[in-house]
Amino acid sequence: MGEYISVAEAAEKWQLTPRRVRVLCNQQRVSGAVKQGGIWLIPFNAKEPEKMTASQKKIKPKKTLTLLSLFSGCGGIDLGFEGDFNVLRKSINLAISQNWDISDVDDYWVKLGKTRFHTIFANDIKPEAKAAWVNYFSKRKIDPRSFYLDSIVDLVKLQRENGINIFPAKADVLIGGFPCQDFSVAGKRMGFQSSNGHDGKKIDRESPTVENRGQLYMWMREVIGIVKPKVFVAENVKGLTNLNDAKDIIERDFASVCSGGYLVVPAKVLNAACYGVPQGRERVIFFGFKKSELLPKALKELSKEELPLEYTPYPQKTHYLRNEVETNELKKYVTVKDALVGLEEPENSRDASHQRYSKAKYMGKHCQGQQEVRLDSIGPTIRAEHHGNIEFRRLAKEHGGRYNDELEDGLRERRLSVRECARIQTFPDDYEFVISAKNGNKSVSGSEAYKIIGNAVPPLLGYHIAKRLEENWELYFGEDCK
């Protein structure tokens, strides 16, 4: 052992994170590194590998990985998996994400590179979600006909019962944020016993059925059985994890698809703020891997109760929170003030999505959404069911407003604009939310825009999940080149 040092020692020596050192070892870029008992041993005199140039990265082009998206909404997680969008510079921790393709935009913004993933199917039941999705993604060379404005239940039935090919015959990855209202702590928490149907309407029957909104994950499971992706990613609210044994039931149901053909690793709650999103938004993430596609070593490692760091599909935290101890490895959380950089007041903006904001009056602190956002802190969870209760950007002094300098400058009491909510969710400014009707799609109002933004997974969180999966693809499934 005297001739070797540990990953932790190499990380300290080279001023890298341990995870980055393991990645370099897996890429066979650390000369003389050997793996014993699942642990990398590094020669004491090994030098830190030089960064790969753009030309070196292009030597071995990777195969495009196809993506099928369910319950897509306006496409927050879809955008995250696609990549190629602007985010705040403060949202990126280069010490941890050294292998990301990132380019400078200006002093405040950087552009994330394109991933290997390409969306070939999406669906949702909300016309405004489709309108926003198609309006944005069609500009990114994604066929607008790939979006289906239908319930997943109806789509599965069309394929199963009528022999109509709806879903792609094959996709590498399937993602979906099945409806969360029935598991959310902000709702009635009906869970599996939801009285809402798959189409969003109330169920007339006395007993809820497998087609109710709380059990739509079972229809996501049906699509997994049809498409048989190499991996699927499912997302829901944190509240699901403490609603009876809902998480365990869902894990078992997902694992039983294709006669037990999928390995479902223990679900984990991720807080978006830990990944550079200026918002305290916690979501539970489920990963399922097709056993027959996994390498034997990957199947063994992913089957362990405690996932090895090298094999875990969950991304590493990049930012610490307000109540956490500051570390050299993690960056400080991103604030609301950071997120709103460069935005004028709505009346001075030419952006339709910034011009619109809820005119609902202040109703007192006893009601939801009557607080003023704290500019120096992480933003509140942007809710879908706001009903005019979206938080205030600024309160009047008599209502407890704290931004006296703004009030003294004559700035009015108002709620967060649609664009400000989109910024807090990490949507780029070129994503339009308030749009007119065109190409057969309906218009999207400010009120509808709030809802589809609130329903979305923050694109930056989606990007972290996608990049971790992309980084480990060969580790899980072997070489896969053009």
Residues tagged active-site: 180
Q: How far apart are CA 376 and CA 338, in angstroms?
A: 8
Q: How far apart are CA 45 and CA 471, in angstroms?
A: 27
β-bridge mates for residue 392, sequence order: 372, 415
Residue pointed to by tokens 């050294």: 98
Q: How far apart are CA 157 and CA 150, in angstroms?
A: 11
Residue pointed to by tokens 């935005």: 343
Pairing of strands 102-104, 231-237: unpaired
Closest CA to 375 of 361, 393, 388, 390: 393
Q: What is the SS3 assignment for 241-279?
A: HHCCCHHHHHHHHHHCHHHHCEEEEEEEEEEHHHHCCCE
- The structure tokens listed for 436 are 């007119």
Torsional sign, CA 114, 116, 119, 120: positive
Question: What are the backbone dihedrals phi and psi of residue 158, each rounded to the nearest 5 degrees, phi first?
Answer: -60, -40
- What three-state secondary structure class fits 123? strand
